[in-house]
Structure 1
């Protein structure tokens, strides 16, 4: 249950897990002392974008900065991404690779870590995701990755469309060549079908006229 129910005094069963998403670390103790276990997410909202490289804020957030005996009641944390101002085109770049910083924080021991080393791992993970075709965001500001015959998903799909279009054009052209070889009159027949009734009538009258003139010339020769 979200912590809102607890704050409003709702009678919540003791086996309920409370997700703390508004309170600070030091405020978790109140909930734990009431007998509840906790999931913490206050400091891991990925839709809170800042104007600088801020994955360090996610990484430095320590949910166990309370009394040791109470820390065991914190089951873990969750990286969240509210979608009010997020479009489908932005989801991957908002989630990753910043979500990786939260993941390493939650799945690692509590011993202090050098952020320079973390930044290197994060950059490596970003490049790994890009090579797999994911449109992820930046990790440490402007940076580059060595790419091997790989492209983003949009580029891959565009290449596939171009290849498919080219193959279809070639196959269509070859099919026309085969028809023209096997059926030499196919072009002529298709042209006749395209004629309108007026065109066909004019063509018939022209043929009748030619035949009439030919017949008259033959008759004159016989008379001579």
Structure 2
């Protein structure tokens, strides 16, 4: 997938990774006067600049009308971009949300990216992930992820000292059940049914108030 996102263009542009209505200021004529929160701005490939902005903070793909308006406004101020540049930007939109972990719809975004790259639909993506995981390279990555760093061990000791053992036990129990489920069914995908199951468990009651808004947001994103 990654090679399909690259180009021979060696030029980079300055990109703001979190543009939304809260950090763009305009005057009465809707001219942009300033942009704030630029500390995370960086030089990026042109494909990232050409991705349609989600100004309302939505993690869902922009509507076609917004994409058309964005590209029309973009082209009116610069030279017209080539069709392959817009195609690369479409792929980059999904890729950025996956690698930056900005969404609860990882599977949906990956499936859309897969279809854009390979120009075909796929219903066996979970199986592809499983086949990759049983390869030696996949096992090596899994073993590395399982290793705890000293910082994580210190944090765990701190949690025990703060009487947070019940919360940890609930987390571990849920993680074990999800791992078992994925091992039994290689096509397992966490969808809204999973979040409903989590909400129904009494051993999560202590954390339910704090997490319910997050879980319900995730649940709605899968509907």
Task: Provide the TM-score with structure 1 as the length reference.
Answer: 0.29
Rg comparison, structure with higher value: 1
Higher relative contact order structure (alpha carbons within 8 Å, sequence separation ≥ 6): 2
Task: Provide the TM-score with structure 2 as the length reference.
Answer: 0.29
Higher helix share: 2
